[in-house]
Structure 1
Amino acid sequence: MDDNEIRAWVCLDRDGASDRANMLDKMRKSGKAIGPLHGVPVGIKDIVDTVNLPTSFGSSIFTDRKPESPARIIELLEMAGAIVVGKTVTTEFAFMNPSVTKNPINKAYSPGGSSSGSASAVAAGHVPIAIGSQTNGSVIRPASYCGLYAIKPSSGIIPRTGVLETSKTLDQMGIFANCLEDLAIVNDVLSDYDSRDPSSRPVPRPSLTKIITEPPL
C-alpha cells in the first residue's frame, strides 16, 4: 500500500502479515478456516499492545516500547483468523497534539482524532477493518469526517486489557468499516468478558450480526 500521502500508519508488519496470509491461504485451500475473519487484514490503533510491533501511544517517548504480551482484542482477532497488518496513527496519548494523518476524501481536511489513522486507513482502502478507541469523540468523529461506518459498543462489552488507559469510566474500544455487516462481525468477535479488565462486564452479549438481520418493529 502507498501511505506516503495519507500517513495513516505508524508501522507495518509486511513480512509477518505476508507469512500469516500464506498460512491462512493454505488452510482455506484445504477446506479449513479459523473463524469469521479468516484472512481479513486489520489495522490497530497505536495504543493497543502488540508483541510483533511496537506500541508507542503516538509519542516519541515510547517509540521503542515493545509489550511482552498482546492486548486481549489482538488475541480475539487472531483467534478469529484476522491478520494484523500494522499500527495506525493516533494523536499523542490518544488526546494530545493533532496527528500528521490526512483525510483520504480531501487531504486539506482533518480526518478527525484521536483514531485518525484507523479511520483514514479504512477510508483509503488500505484495510477493510480498523480498530480505534474513544474517550470523548475519537470514534464517531473520524468516522463522520472520513465517511465510514463505525461502532462504539456499550461500556464493558469489548475488553480493554492491554490498551492505554486515559479514563477509567469513559475509555471504550471502537471499530471502523465500510459497511454495517462488517462492523457486526467484528463486534461479535471482540465482545468478550475478560476478568483482567475491571470495566469488563460478565453479562450476555447479544449478536449484532443477528440483530441487523431482524426486521424493524
Structure 2
Amino acid sequence: MNRVAEMETSTRWLRRLGIIGLLCWFVPSVSVLLVLSVLGFCEFLLSDSHPFPGDPPAADMLTEVALSGWLFILVGYVPFFVARKESDRILRLWRRVIPPLILLSFLAMSSALAQVGRRHWGEWGLLKAMLQDNEARVRRFSSRADGALSEEEFAQAKAWLLTQPATFHFDAESEPVRIHMRRTVPPYLGVDFGQGQNAVFDPVTMICIYSD
C-alpha cells in the first residue's frame, strides 16, 4: 500500500511539473507561431518565380527558422503529455490555441517550404544531380581523406571544370545557369544565374547556404 501511495504521489508531482512547464511554455509558443505565420505570409507576398533564391535567400532562411520554431513547440508537448490527464485551464487553453496556430504557421510557411522542397524534383532535380556529380569529381583532385583541396588542387579543379559543359537551362528562363568553382571550402561549386546573381547550395539538402 505504501508503495502504491508513493507511486501516486510521484505521479501527482510529475503532472504538477507538467502543468508548470506548460505555464512557462504557452506564451513563448504562441509568440513563436504567430511570428512564423507573419513571416511566412510576408515571404509569400514578396516571392517571385525566378529560380535564383534571392539575396538573402529568404525561403531557405525561413525554412530553417520554421523548423527550429516547430521543434521548440514539440518540446512544449513533453509537459503537455505529462499533464494531459489533469483538469486544468492551461491544458484546455493549449488544446484550443496551439494546434490551430501550428496549422496556420504551416500554411503560411508552405510557400517557402515548397520553394526549397521542389529543388529535389523535376528540373531542379536534374540540376541537383549535376551539382552532386561535379562536386564528387572536384573532390577527387584532393589528396586528403576528407576531400579538402589545397590551393594548388583548387586551381587544378577549377581549370578542369572550365573544360566541362557545366551549364543547365531552366525551361522558363532565357539564359542557362552555369556551374563554377565558387568557394575554397566544401561545397566548392556555385551556380551563376546571370546578372551578377550567384548561389551555393548544399548538394544533399539543396538548402542555399550562400548567395549574392
Q: TM-score band, normalised by the shorter chain?
A: under 0.3
TM-score, normalised with respect to structure 2: 0.21
Higher helix proportion (structure 1 or 2): 2
TM-score, normalised with respect to structure 1: 0.21
